[in-house]
Amino acid sequence: MLSQDDKLKQAFQIGLCAVTIMTVAVTCMNIPNNSEVIETKKQTRVIKQRTKEEKEAYRKNSPLNPKFKIDIKKAEEEAIEKIDTGLATLYGNSHSLADYQNHYQELVETFGSKFKKAHLPNPKDKVNQDLFESYVENTQANSYFENIDNVHHAKIISFVEYKSKVYGNEQYLNISFEFDYDLVKGKINSFKDVRYQTEKVMEQ
């Protein structure tokens, strides 16, 4: 028969054995299997490569890169002037179809074929005469660059407001656009219609 001390010793050994088994089991459960390790390493390599490529793209396209032998400030001013003039000509400052026809090709060159399809009225369609004659107040157009992290894809936000006689009533209309602009080539890459409102929002 086991003595009291032997029983305590035996119980302690059993308890210690149980704890050891549980510790080993938990440790094994937390060790990732080989496929998980491989996948994690793969994802890490992808992230490192993507970060490297993004840094390289930023370095190549940054306005601070000396390879771009252009005056960034001058290119910005020319872009703003061109877009503001174009929008003002299109919305409000052409008071007849003949005025619009005189500037049509210039507008196409400024804004591109996609903008032409979406926003430039057909200069040969005489029904548009009423449209241009409805403008009763010259347009305000204001544009600004939102960021220039990439000289090939600089973002320009433009607002244009004009006054038109709609069904006999004079009404302020305003539209805003977002342009993706290439400062090196001096051209619009793409555009988005941002907002259209029928109220006056710009100060004179």
Give me the residues paired with residue 140 across strands: 161
pLDDT of res. 2: 46
Q: What is the pLDDT of residues 48-106, one digit of tens each?
A: 566 555 555 545 545 545 565 678 889 999 999 999 999 999 998 988 999 999 999 99
- Two tokens at 5? 């001390």
Q: What is the pLDDT of residues 136-184, one digit of tens each?
A: 877 889 999 987 888 889 999 999 988 888 667 888 888 899 999 999 8
| Domain boundaries, given as residue ranges, for the chain | 4-61, 72-197
Q: What is the mean pLDDT of residues 36-59?
A: 59
Residue 128 has pLDDT above 80, yes or no: yes
Contacts for 53 with CB less than 8 Å, ≥ 6 apart: none
Residue 5 has pLDDT above 90, yes or no: no
Most confident of 1-15, 30-44, 117-131: 117-131
Is 72-197 in CATH node 3.40.50?
no
Q: What is the CA radius of gyration of the chain?
A: 34
What DSSP assignment string belongs to the chain? ---HHHHHHHHHHHHHHHHHHHHHHHHHHHSPPHHHHHHHHHHHHHHHHHHHHHHHHHHHH-TT-TT--S-HHHHHHHHHHHHHHHHHIIIII--SHHHHHHHHHHHHHHH-HHHHHHHPPPTT-GGGHHHHHTEEEEEEEEEEEEE-S-TTSEEEEEEEEEEEEETTEEEEEEEEEEEEEETTTTEEEEEEEEEEESS--S--
Residue 109's nearest CA partner among 188, 52, 14, 4 is 188
Q: Is the pTM of this model over 0.75?
A: no
Backbone CA torsion sign across 134, 138, 144, 150: positive
pLDDT of res. 196: 67
Distance in angstroms (rounded) separating the CA atoms of residues 81 and 88: 11
